[in-house]
Structures are given as C-alpha cells and as structure tokens.
C-alpha cells in the first residue's frame, strides 16, 4: 500500500520530467533547424524539363512529344478547374485516385458542356514506378486532361503543390492527396461555398476541407498518435499563426485563381506545414477563407512520419512569432541568409515584393530556341554572334549581357513573352560565340555601342527596347545616351556605372568584409606587396604570356564574382567556376580590360552626368537589396538623378538575374511595356 502511494506521489514529478524533456527537444530543434536546413537548401538550377509535359500518344526522334505547361503568372484562366495531385512513390495508389477523379469529372462535363478541366500529377522525384504508371494512365485518356509534371529532385509536398499550381490554367484550383483520402465528390461542398462568396462580389477566395467535425456528416478516423500530435500542432498554429481555421492540414483545398497567385508565388515552406504558410499569407492579404467539413479516411501507406513532421513544423512557427508585426521582407534577412541560406517562415508578404527559395524558372517564360542566327562583321575582324527568338513580327528588344566578357545564356531568352516580343541576343566583342574569342583589339565601350547600332540597322529595326543587367546596364545606359531616339524603353538590373568607388568596393575594400573566406582565395593569387591595387595586379597576370600566371589569376577572378553574385551562393559555384578555364580566361581578361581603362569614359561620373538625355525614356530599374557585386548605392544614385524611372528594390535578393525575386520583377517590367507605342517592327 505504501509503495503504491509513494508511486502516486512521484507521478507529478515524472510528468514534469517528461514534459521538460519534450519541451527541450522542441527548443533544440527550433535552435538547430536553420543550420540543418542550410545544408539542405541550395540554389536550384533552371530545369527546362519542368516547363513541359509528355504526350505518350505522340512520339518524336527524342521520345515522347512534349507540350508546354500553362502559367498562372502569365496566362489568364482557360479552364474551369485545375486539380493538382502531388505524388511521391505512389505507384500502388495513384491509379485508383485518377480513375475516381476522371470518372467524376467526365460525368460533370457531360452534365455541363461549358465545364473544362485538367489534372496535373506532380511526381516529386519518385523512386518507384509512379511515372510509368501515370503515363500508362495518360495513354488511355487525352493528354489535355491529365498532365504529368516530373520534378528532377524531391521538393516535398508543399514544393510539389506549388509547382503544379504555378503551371495551372484553371479558374478554380484544387489540390488533393494522391491517396484519395478525401474523395473528389467532396469538391461540390467547397465549390458551393466559393460560388456564394463570388456572388457576393468577393475575389480571392480559399475554401478548406476540414476534418474538425464542423458538421455531423464529417467522419475522420485517425490513428491515436496522429490525433495527439496533430491536435498539439493545431493548438500552436491557432495561437501563433492562423486563428480562423481549425483544420489547417487537410490536404483538400480549393482556391480561385486570384488567391492562388497571391499565396503560392511567395510561399517558401516546401514540406509538411506549407498549408499554414499559405493561409497565413492569405490572412495578411485579407483574402476570404472558409472551412467546410469533408469525409476523410486515413489510408494505409502514408509517407508522413507523424512525430518528425509535427516537430519539424514548429521551428518556422516559432520563428514567425517574435516578429509577427514586421513585414517579412523588412526583417534582417542578410544575417539569416548567412546562417541558414534564407530559411523562410510564415510572415507578412507585401504584394509588391517577392522572394522565395524557388527556381527563377517559376517566374520566367518557358525555354525557346532561336528562329534566326548569324554573324555580324565589324571592325578588326570581329564577327559578332546574334540570334532572334520569339515573334518575328513582334516588339523588338535587345538583350545586353553582362561581364563584360560573359556572353549570352539561354535563360536570357525567357524574360519576355515570345508571343509578343522579337527577342534579340548579341554576344559582345570577344565574348560568348563571337570571334575571335577573348580579343581586346578595338574592344571598348564605344565600339560596343557602335556594334549595337549596326545590328539594329542590319536587322532593320526602327526602335527597340533595351534590356540589360550589371555591365549590361552600363552598356544599355551608354547606348541610350548616345542614341536616345532608337530606344523605346529601358529595363535595367543591378546598376553599374564604373565609378572608381564601385570598382574599389568589390575589388579592393568593401565586399571582403561580407565574404572574407572567398576574398582570401581571391587575394592569395597576388603577392602581398602588390595588393594595394588588385585590379592592376590582376591586369599584369591576365595579360601575361605565361599560362602559369594567367590561368590561376583568371580562375580566381571569375570564382570571386560567381560565388558572390547570389544572396545564397550555390553550393557548387566554386566548382563550376574552376571547371571552365576557357570561359574564365576570356571573361576575366575582358572584364579587367574594361575596369583598368575605367570603362573608356571621359569622366568618372559620365553616366550619371548624362542621364538627363534619357529621362524621357520609360525605364524600370530592378535592384537586389543585398547586391554585393553592384551595391544598391549606385542604383540609388541613378534613381535620384532619374526620378522618372520606376525603381523596384527586391528585398531578399543579391545580384543575379536568376534569383527568383529579381526574375519576377524583370518579367513584370517586360509585361508593363508589352503594349507601349512603337512596339512592332518587321524585317
């Protein structure tokens, strides 16, 4: 008896110890999660395969024919409904889900002739036969109704849903689970609520399926462990983030196109818990959010580890709570980026800003090929490569690449709508595919300006938009100042005017304080006694006849720039730089040639002093807040001298045009000028 009483007396202490241990685990995960996450996150390359889907009923020499996806960013709704089904290793369950879904939708189509739909299955890097199972199913049905989006690597459920939504064409967009936990026929409940809100004149509506017993018909049979952990999670969510919705995690949600744009473009959380973020963003945008009970069943074979998922969702919530009143983009993101490579959490997202750990290709147009290429002969035997893409009779735009010395890349074709623009790319003297490669003969800013004008005349273009970033902004400004009557608009990014203080910041004293590790590799090539003028010291080595001096200098120069261009540098940026010695030598030699000659300008402030000549030209300036290569001070100086230009600062971006926020603003600028006057030019 005494022993029993003693045990009962100890019970509160035991419960206290257990609670303390669990709390400690939560806090530990909260503290270390940014470090763990930083090892996982990396700059995602543009994956062109993700811009199109396979048609197994049509084949080409390369395999199944491919058709471009739609875009929620750039296209209006052309279908009544899009259904997004994220799938990871679902070979055994996906067929039943697709059968039920398409049977239901076809029946609706027969009842309503105006009803159209698409099903986008997003394969999230499955290791089983999910892809082949879905393609076999597609072969039985029309590809216009079922589309397979194949992700090269696993992103998590949130990342898969986001990528599917961004490629959808529906006026209404539903995402649902591949295990058919909520049957598709429950959709009518969500649509009824949404239609009522639309009749009341509301736009931007989200309707969430719920397992929270909001009405007696709701049935949810969950494992007890899942109930305990999920209820605890819901308590934290309702306390810290989303008070209005009782069940944030049900994977059956319907959004209209307006709401989908607003919440999925800035979404950051890719794995379990992304639902909380999109609802939090919706609340901050004052969107309408409704909840309706649905029939839900737990399906065996879940990919969710309940304990791990519940714990992993806590750090983002906790990180949001202390700064709930702050704008997301106004938080001190540079230190966070340095610690965790921009670990993102739920917080207020201003409409005018955009930044997320996603590929820039989500904001850009699909890859295209040139319809015309050629070489333009200019002075000193220079043969300049050029190409034309998009609409041959569209609005002309000249893409001006950076460096100097870098040449054009395929991604530069993707900032303009190819149905509207005639997109012209030119490799500058010695750069890219132009010949002779790396030549410095008659290679000055003024020669390049003349080359641009000769190309305009050669292509019989009357006036064109000029689009350039970094050194491309320098050359674009110089061309516009020299030939203002030939420029319809300017779109400039990462402003660089070649003033001594700009070059000194990056190559002498400034950027080294932010990237001391990278800086050591940059200066180690140069003897200590020559480090008072690093540009000059590099000039001697880059123009040396001794390859043992020239090549290490070229690789170090190029690597320094490539590894500092992004807010979160790619994990393999240094390896990529070191692996392309031919590019490095050309790039470093030409770039240093321009810097040692101060851009061949007559004064240090030539561009700022002469900007009055172009203030009548419609202009957009896009600048990354944390651009280290071309710091924001230069863009700010240009903005003050050119107040008529629209000045857009991306708060969580560095220098690269391929950072998502930068890419989105550049595309937005090109869309702004699509219908401007003098916008068409034929051959």
- In angstroms, the Cα distances linking 382 to 220, 376, 385, 409, 436 are 72, 8, 10, 20, 6
Active site annotation includes 434: no
Which of 350, 366, 623 has the alpha carbon at shortest distance from 497?
623
CA-to-CA distance for 290 and 396, rounded, in angstroms?
46
| Largest Cα–Cα separation, the chain | 105
CA-to-CA distance for 600 and 494, rounded, in angstroms?
20
Active site annotation includes 450: no
Phi, psi angle pair for 424, to nearest 5°: -115, 125
The vertex-573 CA angle with 568 and 579, nearest 5°, equals 175
- Per the CB < 8 A criterion, the answer to whether 149 and 163 are in contact is yes
Which of 283, 211, 305, 222 has the alpha carbon at shortest distance from 253?
211
For residue 564, how many C-alpha atoms fall within 13 Å in the half-sphere facing its CB? 26
Strands (E), 535-645: 619-624
Catalytic annotation, pick one of 470, 473, 577, 681: 470
In the 8-state DSSP scheme, what is residue 44? Answer: P
CA-to-CA distance for 281 and 493, rounded, in angstroms?
28
- Per the CB < 8 A criterion, the answer to whether 25 and 306 are in contact is no
Active site annotation includes 286: no
| DSSP assignment of 417-431 | -TTTEEEEEEPPTTS
Sheet holding 253-256, edge to edge: 146-150, 117-123, 79-87, 170-175, 253-256, 205-210, 288-293
Question: For strand 63-68 and strand 52-60, is the pairing parallel, antiparallel, or unpaired?
Answer: antiparallel
CA-to-CA distance for 610 and 608, rounded, in angstroms?
6
Catalytic annotation, pick one of 55, 256, 655, 656: 655
The H or E element that residue 66 is part of is: strand 63-68
433 burial type by CB count under 10 A (0-12 exposed, 13-18 middle, 19+ buried): middle
Three-state DSSP state, 396: strand
Catalytic annotation, pick one of 52, 627, 637, 679: 627
Q: Which residues are catalytic?
A: 470, 627, 655
């Amino acid at each position: 008896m005494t022993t029993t009483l003693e045990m009962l007396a100890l019970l509160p202490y035991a419960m206290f110890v257990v609670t303390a241990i669990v709390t400690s685990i939560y806090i530990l995960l909260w503290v270390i999660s940014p470090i763990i996450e930083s090892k996982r996150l990396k700059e995602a390359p543009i994956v062109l395969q993700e811009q199109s889907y396979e048609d197994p009923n049509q084949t080409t020499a390369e395999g199944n024919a491919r058709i471009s996806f739609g875009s929620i960013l750039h296209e209006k709704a052309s279908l009544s409904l899009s259904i997004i089904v994220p799938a990871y290793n679902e070979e055994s369950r996906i067929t039943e889900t697709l059968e039920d879904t398409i049977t239901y939708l076809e029946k609706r189509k027969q009842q309503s002739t105006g009803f159209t739909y698409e099903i986008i299955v997003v394969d999230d890097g499955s290791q089983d036969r999910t892809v082949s199972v879905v393609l076999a199913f597609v072969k039985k049905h029309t590809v216009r109704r079922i589309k397979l989006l194949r992700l090269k690597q696993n992103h998590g459920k949130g990342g898969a849903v986001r990528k599917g939504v961004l490629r959808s064409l529906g006026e209404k967009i539903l995402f649902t689970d591949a295990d058919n936990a909520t049957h598709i026929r429950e959709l009518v409940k969500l649509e009824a609520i949404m239609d009522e809100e639309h009749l009341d004149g509301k736009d931007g509506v989200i309707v969430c399926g719920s397992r929270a017993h909001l009405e007696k018909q709701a049935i949810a049979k969950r494992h007890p462990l899942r109930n305990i952990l999920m209820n605890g999670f819901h308590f934290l969510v309702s306390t810290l983030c989303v008070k209005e919705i009782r069940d944030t995690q049900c994977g059956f949600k319907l959004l209209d196109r307006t709401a989908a744009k607003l919440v999925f473009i800035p979404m950051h959380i890719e794995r379990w818990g992304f639902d909380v973020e999109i609802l939090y963003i919706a609340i901050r945008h004052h969107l309408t959010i409704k909840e309706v009970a649905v029939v839900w069943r737990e399906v065996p074979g879940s990919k969710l580890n309940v304990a791990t998922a519940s714990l992993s969702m806590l750090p983002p919530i906790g990180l949001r709570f202390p700064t709930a009143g702050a704008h997301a983009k106004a938080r001190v993101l540079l230190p966070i980026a340095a610690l965790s490579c921009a670990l993102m959490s739920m917080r207020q997202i201003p409409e005018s800003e955009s930044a997320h750990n996603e590929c820039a290709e989500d904001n850009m147009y699909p890859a295209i090929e040139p319809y015309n290429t050629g070489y333009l002969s200019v002075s000193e035997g220079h043969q300049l490569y050029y190409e034309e893409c998009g609409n041959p009779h569209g609005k002309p735009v000249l893409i001006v690449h950076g460096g100097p010395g870098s040449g054009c890349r395929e991604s530069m074709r993707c900032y303009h709508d190819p149905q509207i623009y005639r997109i012209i790319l030119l490799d500058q003297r010695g750069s890219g595919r132009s010949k002779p490669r790396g030549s410095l003969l008659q290679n000055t800013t003024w020669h390049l300006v003349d080359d641009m004008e000769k190309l305009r005349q050669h292509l019989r273009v009357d006036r064109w938009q000029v689009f350039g970033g970094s050194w491309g902004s320098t050359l674009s400004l110089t061309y516009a100042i020299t030939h203002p009557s030939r420029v319809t608009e300017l779109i400039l990014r990462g402003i660089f005017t070649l003033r001594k203080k700009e070059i000194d910041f990056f190559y002498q004293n400034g950027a080294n304080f932010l990237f001391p590790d990278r800086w050591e590799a940059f200066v180690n090539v140069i003897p200590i006694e020559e480090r008072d003028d690093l540009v000059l010291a590099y000039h001697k080595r880059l123009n040396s006849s001794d390859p043992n001096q020239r090549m290490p200098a070229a690789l170090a120069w190029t690597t320094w720039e490539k590894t500092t261009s992004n807010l979160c540098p790619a994990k393999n940026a240094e390896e990529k730089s070191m692996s392309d010695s031919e590019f490095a030598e050309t790039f470093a030699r030409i770039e240093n040639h321009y810097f040692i000659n101060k851009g061949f300008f007559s004064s240090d402030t030539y561009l700022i002093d002469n900007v009055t000549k172009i203030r009548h030209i419609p202009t957009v300036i896009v600048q990354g807040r944390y651009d280290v290569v071309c710091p924001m001070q230069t863009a700010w100086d240009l903005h003050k001298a050119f107040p008529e230009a629209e000045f857009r600062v991306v708060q969580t971006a560095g220098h690269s045009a391929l950072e998502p926020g930068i890419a989105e603003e550049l595309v937005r600028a090109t869309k702004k000028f699509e219908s401007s006057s003098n916008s068409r030019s034929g051959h």
